[in-house]
Structure 1
Amino acid sequence: MSIQSALIGRLLGLLFERPFTPEENVVLQTTAVATGTMPLAAGFVGIIPALGLLEVEKDGSGPVSFTWGTAIAWSFGIAFFGVFLAVPLRKQTIIKEKLPFPSGTATAQLISVLYQHPLRKEAAPKQEARPTTEPAEEAQWLLHEEVDASLQPEQGIAAEVEARDEDSSVSVQQGWSPLVWSFAAACFITILSYFFPVVFAMPIFGLYLAREWLWYFTPSLSYVGQGIIMGFPTTVSMNLGMFVGWAILSPLAKHNGWAPGKVGDMSNGGRGWILWISLAIMTADSLVSLTPVFGEIVSHLLKSFKYDAPILGIAGVKSDEEVEPPARLIPRRWVIWGLVISVTGGTLIVWLVFGYEGIKPWATLLGFALGGAMSLLGVRALGETDLNPVSGLGKISQLFFAVLQPGNVVANIIAGGVAEAGAQQAGDLMQDFKTGHLVGASPRAQFQGQLIGSLVSIFVTTTAFILYSNAYEIPGPNFPAPTAYVWLNLARLLRSSSLPPHAGVFMAVLGGAAALSSGIKAWASHGRKPRWVKWIPSGVAFAIGMLNTPNFAIARLLGGCVELWWRRKYMRKIKAARDGEDEENEDGLGELAIVIIASGFVLGEGIGSIVNLTLRIMGFRELSCWGCAKGLCGGCP
């Protein structure tokens, strides 16, 4: 949500007498992203629901329920480790290697347009650390070479701040209209779906297919907005997985008696059966795609011996390469003490929350250590591909702890969650550090904003989760929490080594195909990437489409198609403008307009869901369940 946060920060800043500066906007969006990351980092959408699904017969332990207090304590235990871990990685990945971090760079470009603010020009990455001839205080500020010509601000570097703000107000005013109407539309439809649940569960393929095979459509504008942000290729991969899983594998398993239960049953139904194939595809793709990243890290570790002060095993960056003055950097003692306190305190808190039988303290310590190692992989993958493979890293952690504490499902899930949390937060902060580096924000201020956002989010996220779990069934029709089943089923597999009938064969075949396609893409990316590579489906997106019901993917495909149409229209427009054929039609927002609309969709549905939560807590009921297929509409019998 970094782009959306920066956009909202700029728009709302106009309500004050002194709008935010570009550097203040960077700190604002860093804090906002830190606040929004907690549901993922603390496992409120995966780990915590998974622990609530435990069964004594299958797992050796009953469900683990969280009160508001225990959820607060758990969040405190893992909320800050990844924040401190990201600081030393900034110097290697951003300052020395200058990895692109696409989302962080895109956010910086957005801020550049909104404020008419020039970005720092980055030289090509150096093979060796060499002294620079200019001190940090005299670093040049030029437009970033990678910013598209259509997005470059017209004002020169010497322009006055007042003039720059006056010009940027044109883009800001143009941004209000699409943001407001897209926000209002998504919010309205979400609230409407509360009173008429069929709005979000339309049986467009017929009641039989909706009821028996879960083929229905959710016209969620948030899903459409996410599809716009994800892009056409990813949404196509997701829908291919959905079609294979729900149009081929699920009926095949049902027809042959391999999954005799109801299709949506995660225990003995089609959804539970194809979950294993999805898990195999996701794991294979993640492991293969991480192999070249791991090789590069080993290479950097070997080269690190050339430097005097490697940090956390990463090649050190000489002080004269740093572009920020010392007063704007995070002191090393903050990082050291922060890591010591967060790891020690986190281990103690996890022990107090789950007890010695849940997970032993030494296993939690190893979880933090593994989280540090996973962060190296995740940050580098994120910097190069814009994808933080935390799902694959979490599975690696589960495999590791299946050996350390065999048969302990609770420990397997918790330790994997601890490791994943570090990689998640470190990756998010690295994207923000990239934005701050290009815009010129203080890394120390960003770091402090990250800490503040994480602290606030502990209370906001926990309170929201308790309210939602009291009002809705989680997992359930409204909030299926599919990743909870991924965590739980892998832990169960590692404990019992038992699979549903014939699932192993399909896991081997489709997992092998995913590994092969991922290997081909990794191989092709090292040279001049052929055009046909983009048509190879993404294994992770394919698996996610298979993991979720069809309604999850269809609306996102609509968003992907909108993104493709808009991008082609925009590129034709830019080409015409550059050729001098259509200069008058080039607007001030350009390619950003579709991002603003998508942001409004996502934000509007989020606010609408909070209204729905309030209505449910207050006891308001649905007005009509007309058209609903049994079991698909939340709240309807």
Structure 2
Amino acid sequence: MRNIEEDEDSYQGEMAFRKTSIPPWNKQITLRAVVISFVLSIIFSFIVCNLNFTTGVMPSLNIAAGFMGFAAIKSYTTMLNHFGILRQPFTRQENIVIQTCVIASSGITFNSGIGSYLIAMSPAVASQISEGNTPINTKQPSPGWLIGFLFVVSFVGLFSIVPLRKLMILKYKLTYPSGTATAVLINSLHTPKGAKLAKKQVVLLFKSFCGSFSFAGFQWLFAAADGCGFSNFPIFGLQAYKHRFYFDFSCTYVGVGMLIPYMVNISLLLGAIISWGILWPWIEQKKGIWYSADLSPSSLYGIQGYRVFGAIGLMLGDGLYHCISMLGQVVYNLRLNYSKKNELPSTIIDYQDSKVDYDDQLRKEYFLKDQIPIWVAWTGYVILAIISIMTVSHIFPQLKWYHILVTYLIAPILAFCNAYGCGLSDWSLASGYGKVSILIFSAWVGLPDGGIVAGLASCGVMMNIVSTASDLMQDFKSGYLTLASPRSMFFSQIIGTAMGCVISPVIFMFLNKDSTIGDPEGKYPAPYGQIYRGLALLGTKGFSILPKHCLELTIILFFSAMIINIIHDVLLHYETKYRLHRFVPNPMCLAIPFYLGGHFVIDMCIGNLIIYLWDRKNKHQCKDYAPALASGLICGDSSWNVPAAMLSYRQINPPICMKFLSAPVNQMVDTFLSSGHT
């Protein structure tokens, strides 16, 4: 005979929570949720900064944030319950509030541009490119103006998309895969059956976190100078190391590899092989013919120019294709929905008499319960846009008020397109719209009047509006599936955004003291800094800045990205039996190693291999525990940045330098030391 507990476990969907009361929206945002969100926001912002300043590869962190929030609050409430002093139970609505705050904060860290368009303004990046290295085309990032800039541009996007939430979620029923996956995870964690599994997942997460954190601290001991430590381990030999193929023992990227799809990893590896294994060695043989042999390796007029603009060609081709494709898809779907609306008789749906199931009926009821008036959204957008126009033009005199006004007139349309496309494909094109803004406004202002800074600043305005709009709609979808109030989602996003506007500049200042961000030979090369500055320079100067045959290479790669995307979409549309579209590489992923090399790809492939073998051995166990293991690896390794930066700030350096030398060089060093030199 089945017992009561088994009966509870048998319920699916909202029936599993039928005995759980739903707190009002203002009780879903609790003090403990805000405190935990702030702590996790710091950790996740360090993760994003670490990824942004090293490779720029960014997995979806929604699930990791939701799971970490659950682990933190559940541990706290379990302890209080053990002592009999728990006053407020932990609900899934509170869990989704934490996830929303953390993702909003870490999203600001990514969109803030401290690893891309803002660092591209810095003299450190400008010094690597002789063209445009003038005072009017540079601006040193500092926490003061960074915080002000982020506060005036980061909230506008939230108000631009709020009036469309019912259209996106209820009428068009967009899936928003990351938001849906997060909601499914949180719902499963809070069911009676999920609670049992969650205990084991939390234990694994903390073990993974502690192991990753400890190993990062161990590696720090051997990294006394540049080129030292495990991160420079030539596991495939010194020749492969010279071409940036090596394993750098990064738990962060092993964890990232566990979270991203197989084809993303394969695309990254293929891009590293094509560029650093074939293309760049061949172009280096043309030194003295195609470009001067006297140039430094980081000069944009030498081999670095081919690397940067080769990556730009692939990225622009991929971004432009997706922008055009997504706009076409949005128009097609809107026309389709409009025609269906006209064909059907207009009737009022009676949820009591219709066949709408219990879950949908309940979710719609709570989704429509706490309205956010449309006049609030539009008034907020206009007021914030006016404040932003005045403030941004003061921070960046190169960007005039009418330039910013044009951006704010166009942005709501692009925000809608991006949010709609993200709901269909889970793919945000914010960086693509930002790159287009760079080219337009850099050309509009011109190099003598500071076109580089103007283009980069306009990119920041556009990216923040478009990206925060799609992020908010993802959270609305998560809230819809967990019965969290849209009002609590909106205010959680505001709280998280405010946290991110302060946290990311402070982390930037903190890490910049440890190592110069933007130095290609340093700890934080910030690869997108040169790429974004190269785009702005291209907008102001045209193709005359490129080394010999670099334009041809860029054009070939540009159209190659478009052709690859066309092949993928044609196979996806017409071919069903073998699903060959799964094996078409991603052009954006192909582009990233063109600039960086393959060292981080090796780490990610190891993470992907772990998941593949684990999935083959025990599919259900892999599905249940892989996110916890990956989250612990990423968070633990990235959290070491905090004590490492503090030690560096106190001028406490690692005690040991571990380097690897070839046999002849080692013999020369031994001879030198034995001769009595010190």
Q: TM-score, normalised by structure 2?
A: 0.77
Q: Please, which of 419, 435, 445 is the counterpart of residue 405 of structure 1?
A: 445
The structure with more radius of gyration? 2
1:213 CA drift (Å): 3.4
Q: Please, which of 108, 112, 115 is the counterpart of residue 45 of structure 1?
A: 115
Match of 1:611 in 2: 643
Question: Do 1:35 and 1:456's aligned partners in 2 also have CA atoms closer than 8 Å?
Answer: yes
Change (3 A) 1:183 1:269: farther
Question: Do 2:142 and 2:505's aligned partners in 1 also have CA atoms closer than 8 Å?
Answer: no
Match of 2:149 in 1: 74
1:76 CA drift (Å): 1.1
1:47 CA drift (Å): 1.5
Match of 1:245 in 2: 275
Change (3 A) 1:418 1:194: same
Question: Do 2:319 and 2:429's aligned partners in 1 also have CA atoms closer than 8 Å?
Answer: yes
Is the counterpart of residue 34 in structure 1 residue 104 in structure 2? yes
Match of 2:513 in 1: 470
Q: Following the alignment from structure 1 to structure 2, what is the Cα–Cα distance between the partners of residues 549 and 233? A: 18
Question: Do 1:231 and 1:564's aligned partners in 2 also have CA atoms closer than 8 Å?
Answer: no
1:319 CA drift (Å): 11
Q: Following the alignment from structure 2 to structure 1, what is the Cα–Cα distance between the partners of residues 211 and 295? A: 35
Is the counterpart of residue 620 in structure 1 residue 667 in structure 2? no
1:90 CA drift (Å): 2.3
Q: Following the alignment from structure 1 to structure 2, what is the Cα–Cα distance between the partners of residues 189 and 325? A: 45
Match of 1:191 in 2: 217
1:303 CA drift (Å): 7.1
Counterpart of 1:339 in structure 2: which amino acid?
Y
- CA deviation digits over 1:379-426, x for unaligned, max 9? 223212222122322222223324432331111111122111112211
Q: Give runs of aligned pairs for residues 93-242 of structure 1, distance below 5 A.
A: 93-116=168-191, 164=192, 167-197=193-223, 198-207=229-238, 209-210=240-241, 212-242=242-272
Match of 1:11 in 2: 71
Q: Give runs of aligned pairs for residues 266-415 of structure 1, distance below 5 A.
A: 266-299=299-332, 323-324=365-366, 326-355=368-397, 358-407=398-447, 408-415=451-458
Counterpart of 2:203 in structure 1: which amino acid?
S
1:605 CA drift (Å): 1.3
Q: Following the alignment from structure 1 to structure 2, what is the Cα–Cα distance between the partners of residues 549 and 298? A: 39
Q: Please, which of 558, 565, 576 is the counterpart of residue 613 of structure 2?
A: 565
Q: Following the alignment from structure 1 to structure 2, what is the Cα–Cα distance between the partners of residues 193 and 338? A: 49
Q: Please, which of 491, 504, 528 is the counterpart of residue 483 of structure 1?
A: 528
Change (3 A) 1:238 1:263: farther
Q: Following the alignment from structure 1 to structure 2, what is the Cα–Cα distance between the partners of residues 359 and 268? A: 28
Question: Do 2:256 and 2:604's aligned partners in 1 also have CA atoms closer than 8 Å?
Answer: yes
Match of 1:633 in 2: none
Counterpart of 1:31 in structure 2: which amino acid?
C
Question: Do 2:112 and 2:504's aligned partners in 1 also have CA atoms closer than 8 Å?
Answer: no
Change (3 A) 1:333 1:561: same
Match of 1:523 in 2: 570
Change (3 A) 1:431 1:266: farther
Q: Following the alignment from structure 1 to structure 2, what is the Cα–Cα distance between the partners of residues 480 and 430? A: 33
Three-state SS of the structure 2 residue aligned to 1:488 is helix
Q: Please, which of 425, 448, 451 is the counterpart of residue 468 of structure 2?
A: 425
- CA deviation digits over 1:468-489, x for unaligned, max 9? 1122111132111111112100
Question: Do 1:251 and 1:270's aligned partners in 2 also have CA atoms closer than 8 Å?
Answer: no
Q: Following the alignment from structure 2 to structure 1, what is the Cα–Cα distance between the partners of residues 349 and 556? A: 51
Change (3 A) 1:522 1:400: farther
Q: Following the alignment from structure 1 to structure 2, what is the Cα–Cα distance between the partners of residues 418 and 327? A: 33
Question: Do 2:443 and 2:539's aligned partners in 1 also have CA atoms closer than 8 Å?
Answer: no
Extract unaligned runs of 5+ from structure 1.
117-163, 309-317, 575-586, 631-637
Counterpart of 2:258 in structure 1: which amino acid?
I
Match of 1:137 in 2: none
Match of 1:536 in 2: 584
Q: Following the alignment from structure 1 to structure 2, what is the Cα–Cα distance between the partners of residues 263 and 201? A: 22
- CA deviation digits over 1:584-604, x for unaligned, max 9? xxx6xx513111111111111
Is the counterpart of residue 54 in structure 1 residue 126 in structure 2? yes
Counterpart of 1:368 in structure 2: which amino acid?
Y
Change (3 A) 1:528 1:215: closer
Counterpart of 2:551 in structure 1: which amino acid?
G
Q: Give runs of aligned pairs for residues 500-519 of structure 1, distance below 5 A.
A: 500-519=547-566
1:266 CA drift (Å): 4.9
Q: Following the alignment from structure 2 to structure 1, what is the Cα–Cα distance between the partners of residues 480 and 575? A: 28
Change (3 A) 1:177 1:254: same
Point out the more displaced range, 64-73 or 295-304: 295-304
Q: TM-score, normalised by structure 1?
A: 0.81
1:57 CA drift (Å): 5.4
Point out the more displaced range, 242-251 or 85-94: 85-94
1:177 CA drift (Å): 2.3
Three-state SS of the structure 1 residue aligned to 2:558 is helix
Change (3 A) 1:109 1:264: farther
Change (3 A) 1:208 1:286: same
Is the counterpart of residue 556 in structure 1 residue 628 in structure 2? no
Three-state SS of the structure 2 residue aligned to 1:179 is helix
Counterpart of 1:226 in structure 2: which amino acid?
V
- CA deviation digits over 1:242-284, x for unaligned, max 9? 1111111111121111454688525345344222111111111
Three-state SS of the structure 2 residue aligned to 1:47 is coil
Point out the more displaced range, 284-293 or 263-272: 263-272
Q: Please, which of 162, 165, 180 is the counterpart of residue 90 of structure 1?
A: 165
Point out the more displaced range, 299-308 or 332-341: 299-308
Question: Do 1:285 and 1:514's aligned partners in 2 also have CA atoms closer than 8 Å?
Answer: yes
What is the RMSD of the two structures over their aligned residues, measured on CA atoms?
2.7
- CA deviation digits over 1:329-375, x for unaligned, max 9? 222222112211221111111112122xx111111122233332332
1:511 CA drift (Å): 2.1
Question: Do 2:62 and 2:99's aligned partners in 1 also have CA atoms closer than 8 Å?
Answer: yes
Three-state SS of the structure 1 residue aligned to 2:126 is coil
Question: Do 2:367 and 2:485's aligned partners in 1 also have CA atoms closer than 8 Å?
Answer: no
Match of 2:626 in 1: 594
Point out the more displaced range, 253-262 or 607-616: 253-262
1:495 CA drift (Å): 1.5
Change (3 A) 1:629 1:191: farther
Q: Following the alignment from structure 1 to structure 2, what is the Cα–Cα distance between the partners of residues 600 and 369? A: 42
Between the aligned residues of both structures, percent identity stands at 26
- CA deviation digits over 1:506-563, x for unaligned, max 9? 2222222221110122233345645111111001111112232221211111112222
Q: Following the alignment from structure 1 to structure 2, what is the Cα–Cα distance between the partners of residues 171 and 618? A: 43
Match of 1:494 in 2: 539
Counterpart of 2:163 in structure 1: which amino acid?
P
Question: Do 1:388 and 1:427's aligned partners in 2 also have CA atoms closer than 8 Å?
Answer: yes
Change (3 A) 1:368 1:270: same
Three-state SS of the structure 2 residue aligned to 1:441 is coil
Counterpart of 1:486 in structure 2: which amino acid?
I
Three-state SS of the structure 2 residue aligned to 1:525 is helix
Change (3 A) 1:261 1:287: farther
Match of 1:578 in 2: none
Change (3 A) 1:9 1:400: same
Q: Following the alignment from structure 1 to structure 2, what is the Cα–Cα distance between the partners of residues 564 and 393? A: 35
Q: Following the alignment from structure 1 to structure 2, what is the Cα–Cα distance between the partners of residues 360 and 307? A: 45
Extract unaligned runs of 5+ from structure 2.
1-60, 78-85, 224-228, 342-347, 351-360, 663-678
